């Protein structure tokens, strides 16, 4: 009888301890400002998850490289120091060569083509390209097409020959600038404003929302609307964290993320226009467009880069991406 009461007491203690179990914490680290597609997506994700899994999962969002930069966030994720991040697709070179496809210059006609390719069987297959490295690709998020900025006007490829351009840590982006005889300089996002301000570099490439939210337009006299490449994101987590969640929790987190991504994508489309207009209205920089002939000259100079990376990316993948332009 006494033994039975002891067992019952032990079970009771276990039950109350598990009821008090600490919530799962998801630290979500990113490098951009809160008023950007990624910043807003992360906030939405936190709201959705915490309202659907109250007391069970908490999400702590760290914007502006406060916790980790894109140069060390994946390493930290594998060590369990951060659970989610959404680095630009250009920052996975050390983990897979397959995602290099998104950096090929002039591959996508517009964001509609990007969306079609990412949703296609080929695009979805790429989400799994990090698995061998212990990372899980949970979904793509848009920012948009990139523009060129510098302290001197940019119309033809020869205008940037010999100029130093900051790039993300991508060999394709390095080859893209080398193809027009510019000097690519790989640097973290958090350093770009100061590098431009101090004229340690001459220019950079980025989306309207990043150029606006990080005030690059205040330290660059010229921006050319080149739409020459893509800056999108991959939301990632570690396999260890993801598979350590119970099935129901994982399902709710994933569906909340899908909704947050849809929200972020809407903001990306709006900001590509509104941040461009805000930059023009500021009068701090001159924004120009390329004529058809000028654009053709850039395509001709940069497109040979595709061939250089074809064996790593896969000719069939490049074909599938091109098909999304129709
Ligand atoms: C980002 O949008 O996350 C940063 C992109 C960059 O490094 O230029």
User: Which tens digit of pLDDT belongs to each residue from 259-285?
Assistant: 999 999 999 999 999 999 999 999 999
86 alpha carbon to ligand 1 midpoint, in Å? 10
Mutate to test the pocket of ligand 1, among 141, 170, 210, 212 (most ligand atoms within 8 A of CB): 210
CA-angle at 303, arms to 309 and 117, nearest 5°: 70
Give domain status of residue 24, yes or no: no
Pick the more confident residue, 48 or 8.
Answer: 48
Any ligand 1 atom below 6 A from CB of 88: yes
Give domain status of residue 44, yes or no: no
Domain residues for the domain of 105 are 86-323
Any ligand 1 atom below 6 A from CB of 29: no
Give domain status of residue 135, yes or no: yes
Q: Give the confidence band of 291 by pLDDT, cuts at 50, 70, 90.
A: very high
**DSSP alpha helix (H) spans, the chain:** 2-19, 37-52, 73-78, 111-119, 121-126, 171-178, 192-197, 208-213, 239-244, 247-282, 292-302, 305-313, 315-323
Q: Roughly what angle, to the nearest 10 degrees, separates helices 247-282 and 111-119?
A: 170
The answer on pLDDT for 1 being more than 70 is no
pTM of this structure: 0.93
104: which residues sit within 8 A by CB, 6+ positions away? 172, 229, 305, 306, 309, 313, 318, 321
Mutate to test the pocket of ligand 1, among 87, 145, 206 (most ligand atoms within 8 A of CB): 206
User: pLDDT tens, 234-265?
Assistant: 999 999 999 999 999 999 999 999 999 999 99
207 alpha carbon to ligand 1 midpoint, in Å? 9
Q: What is the pLDDT of residue 70?
A: 85
Section 104-131 average pLDDT: 98
Query: Bridge-partner residues for 136, per DSSP?
Result: 237
Give domain status of residue 54, yes or no: no
183-186 and 84-85 strand pairing: unpaired
Any ligand 1 atom below 6 A from CB of 168: yes
Q: Domains in the chain: how many in total?
A: 1
Mutate to test the pocket of ligand 1, among 31, 42, 211 (most ligand atoms within 8 A of CB): 31
Section 12-28 average pLDDT: 69
Q: To the nearest 10°, the Cα dihedral for 165, 166, 168, 173?
A: 0
User: pLDDT tens, 126-175?
Assistant: 999 999 999 999 999 999 999 999 999 999 999 999 999 999 999 999 99
Give domain status of residue 264, yes or no: yes
Any ligand 1 atom below 6 A from CB of 189: yes
Any ligand 1 atom below 6 A from CB of 206: yes
* Percentage of the chain modeled with pLDDT above 70: 94
Residue nearest to atom 6 of ligand 1 (CA): 189
CA torsion sign, 188 to 191 to 193 to 197?
A: negative
Q: Roughly what angle, to the nearest 10 degrees, separates helices 305-313 and 315-323?
A: 110
State the chain's mean pLDDT as an integer.
Answer: 95
206 alpha carbon to ligand 1 midpoint, in Å? 8
Give domain status of residue 52, yes or no: no
State the closest ligand 1 atom to the C-alpha of 233, by its place in the atom list counted from 1: 3
Give domain status of residue 78, yes or no: no
Any ligand 1 atom below 6 A from CB of 169: no
Closest CA to 148 of 220, 70, 232, 198: 220
Q: What is the pLDDT of residue 40?
A: 98
Give domain status of residue 55, yes or no: no
Q: What is the CATH number of the domain that holds 140?
A: 3.40.190.170
């Amino acid at each position: 009888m006494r033994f039975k009461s002891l067992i019952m007491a032990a079970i009771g203690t276990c039950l109350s301890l598990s009821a008090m179990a600490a919530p799962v914490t998801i630290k979500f680290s990113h490098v951009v400002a809160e008023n950007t597609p990624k910043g807003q997506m992360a906030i939405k994700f936190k709201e959705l998850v915490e309202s659907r899994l109250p007391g069970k999962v908490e999400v702590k969002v760290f914007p502006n490289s406060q916790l980790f930069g894109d140069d060390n966030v994946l390493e930290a994720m594998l060590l369990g120091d951060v659970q989610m991040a959404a680095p630009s697709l250009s920052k996975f070179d050390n983990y897979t060569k397959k995602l290099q496809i998104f950096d090929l210059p002039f591959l996508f006609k517009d964001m509609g083509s990007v969306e079609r390719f990412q949703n296609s069987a080929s695009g979805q297959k790429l989400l799994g390209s990090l698995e061998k490295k212990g990372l899980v690709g949970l979904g793509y998020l848009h920012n948009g097409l990139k523009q060129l900025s510098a302290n001197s006007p940019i119309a033809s490829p020869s205008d940037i020959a010999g100029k130093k351009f900051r790039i993300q840590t991508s060999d394709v982006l390095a080859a893209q600038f080398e193809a027009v005889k510019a000097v690519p300089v790989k640097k973290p996002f958090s350093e770009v404003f100061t590098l431009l301000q101090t004229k340690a570099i001459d220019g950079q490439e980025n989306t309207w929302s990043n150029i606006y939210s990080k005030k690059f337009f205040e330290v660059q006299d010229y921006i050319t609307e080149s739409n020459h490449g893509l800056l999108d994101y991959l939301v990632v987590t570690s396999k260890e964290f993801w598979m350590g969640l119970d099935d129901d929790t994982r399902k709710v987190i994933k569906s909340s993320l899908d909704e947050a991504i849809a929200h972020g994508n809407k903001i990306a489309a709006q900001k590509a226009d509104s941040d461009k207009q805000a930059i023009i209205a500021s009068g701090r920089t001159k924004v120009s467009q390329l004529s058809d002939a000028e654009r053709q000259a850039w395509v001709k100079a940069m497109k040979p880069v595709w061939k250089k990376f074809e064996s790593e990316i896969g000719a069939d993948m490049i074909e599938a991406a091109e098909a999304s332009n129709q």
